[in-house]
Structures are given as structure tokens and as C-alpha cells.
Copies of this chain bind each other. A is one copy, B any other.
């Protein structure tokens, strides 16, 4: 049973605060091991990758076998179920259309002082996408991570994916082909991150690394941050459903379970203004759990981290939503738009009873890589700008520098930076 809270209870504030700060992940201390792996890959390159692959993924690979061949990808595509191929293609088209609208514009203006200012966006030259191996290898995540990079204009997009016991997930190869990935290497773990950041003879280095991974991958990303850019370190997934009593309890229960089945440390929270509806949803969760293949995981998540909060009215709960800053926010209520407009912090909002979060995981168009663990207070989902950077531009002629240069000299002297003052002054006095 999930925890039940009521905003009208005397101890609500304390219990809600406890819910907010509950740790859902045990931090694994793998820093020392990861430091050694990264240093070894820097020192020995491909040879280190081969050794770690033998040790962790239990297969032999030669340096010239690290790259997945076009023929392997062809074979994966040829053996792919037609319905799955169609679904991946539809997802890719919709993701590309959505992210295409994120492409930023350059700009340049000349102001009344004659100073030209502007900015210019450029793509990172190469990006690496880590794809976990085994059961967590999601082809949908390949699309969600790769397509924004391609839309940004990244010329070289590289996937690193482990092949446990030598076996690659063929759906990952199909998704990579559809998304236009340029290179795929069968290497995983901290060693893959080290290779992407520092390069080896076989794998040229990239400027940005994205994608989810286990504790080793996360620690390696933190370690190489600065040498390359990284995306956010993802925590366990979470959904907050804001639903009024007019909903079908079984739909809302299904949404809570869709989140819970990801991981025993996932979190599903329902906020409703109807205590009877809350009871009905809880009963539906129990009933649906009976036939769910991943019932053990989903049940543990719901029992340990699930919560149902009853509010006097949904509008009264907006402050709670902002404090939770959920990765996913479903609003299934008649006034969904009005409620959404009042929310500040959420990674993604799903509006109305016919927008289950799961449709957004695959084919909605928006990205499913979203800020977790309350980081939607300051972070955004993965997007095209994550693969671009902005360069500012400034241009003065003699007259423009004459107009604004005096103020720069005053400020430089106030800061004790005389060489700054002189580099402006030498031009104004000559002009």
C-alpha cells in the first residue's frame, strides 16, 4: 500500500517534507574503481577496452572488432518485426518534428552607439551516446538521445553499448540506423565513457556525452565532466498524477503502475481532491498488479515510495507540485490547462485523461529524457540546445569604441585592472 496523506491533517507538513527528502537510491561508492578504469583507458587505449570487455562483458573482442559493422546493422533491420519497425519510424518522425522546432536562431544588431552585438549557435562537432546493455537497452531511448543531436547538426554521433556475453540488442541497432547514428562500438561501462572522452586509437574523442547508465557509468561521466560536456545524471523515474474524481480509477492506476514498473525505486504519486476516488485507484492498483509481468518491481515501488495525497481542491496542491518538481506531471482534470498554467516546476506535463505519460515515452514527440529527483526546479529535459553552444559576437568601430570605451576604462581602473584600461585607451587616443 502506498502512503496516504491528507492536506487537512495536522501532521501533513511534516509528512510531506519527509516524502520530499526520502532517499530512493543508495549511492554506490564506485569512485575509486572508476578512477582506475578511466586512467587505464587513457594510458592503454584499446588494449584496456579489450581487457575490461573480457572481464565485465565476458567476451573477446579485437580492436578491429570494436566497431559494429554496417552488415550487422543491416541484419538487425532485416530481422526486425515490421510492426516494430513502423512504430520506431513513426516515433522517430514525431521526435524529429518536435525537436526541429527547438532549433535556435542567430542574431546581430547594431545599436545607437554604433556597437554591433550578436550571437551565433553552433553544434558540438561530435557527441557520444551511452546505451546500457541487457534489459535496460531501450530503443526508444536511442531515438530520444540521438535525434536531438542530429537535429542540432552534430556531424559525428557515436554510440557505445555493451554486448554482454557478446550479444547486442538488435532493436538498439535498428533505432540507431533510423536515427542516423554514425558509429557504434560494442563497449560499455566506465571504460566506454573514458574512451568517448579521451579517445583511443579506434574511438575518436567526442565533445559531449549523454545517455543513462549504471553507477559506474554515472561516476565516469562526473569524472570526465570538464574534458567533455555531459547531460544530467538521471535518478529513478517518477510521476505525479493530479486527477479529479471524474476519472476512471483504472486508467489512473494503470499510469501509476507504468511508472512503478521501471524500477523498484521509481515513484508514483497521486494527488486528488476526492478521497473515495483515491480509494478506488488504490483498489485498481492492487487488482492490476495481479496480472502484471513486472508486478514484483512495480509492487515494491508502489509499496515503498508510492503516495496518495488528498487535497481540498486540486488548485490547493499547486504548491506541492512545485516543491515535488516532478519529472512527469499528468493532469487529468476538467481544468487541466488552468492548473498547468499555475505550475512552475515540472519536466513534462501531460494534459487531459487521454494523455497517459506512457504515450509520451514513445511517440508523443517531446523528449523522454527529463530532470529527476526534484531537479525540474532548475533543469530541462534533453533538447537540441544540449548539443549546441552559443558564441557571443561584439564589433566596435573607432566611433563606437569612442562612445562606450571611456566607461570601460573607468570600470577597469575601479577594479585595479590597468592593462584592461590601457588596451581600450590606446585605441581611443589613437583614433
Contacts and interface: CB of A to CB of B under 8 A. Distances in A.
Interface of A: 81, 83-84, 86-88, 90-91, 94, 97-98, 101-102, 107, 109, 111, 115-117, 119-120, 122, 124-125, 135, 138-140, 171, 207-208, 226, 228-229, 233, 248, 250-251, 254-255, 257-258, 260-262, 288, 292-294, 298, 322, 340, 343-367, 370-371, 373, 375-381, 383, 385, 389-398, 400-401, 404-408, 410-412, 414-424, 426-427, 430-431
10 contacts: A88-B411, A226-B373, A229-B379, A257-B419, A257-B422, A343-B391, A349-B391, A356-B423, A364-B394, A381-B390
B251 A348 contact: no
A426 B98 CA distance: 26
A394 B375 CA distance: 20
Interface pairs A-B: 5 shortest CB-CB: A229-B378, A366-B392, A87-B407, A254-B423, A351-B395
Looking at A109, A248, A352, the one whose CB has the most chain B CB atoms below 10 A away is A352
Contacts of A226: 233, 373, 375
A111 B172 CA distance: 28
- Summarize A's interface: helix, strand, loop or mixed: mixed
Contacts of A344: 122, 125
A348 B87 contact: no
A406 B254 CA distance: 16
Contacts of A343: 391
A411 B349 contact: no
B389 A383 contact: no
A116 B254 CA distance: 22
Given A258-B423, A396-B355, A423-B357, A124 B378 contact: yes
Contacts of A207: 377-378
Given A381-B390, A396-B354, A418-B293, A363 B404 contact: yes
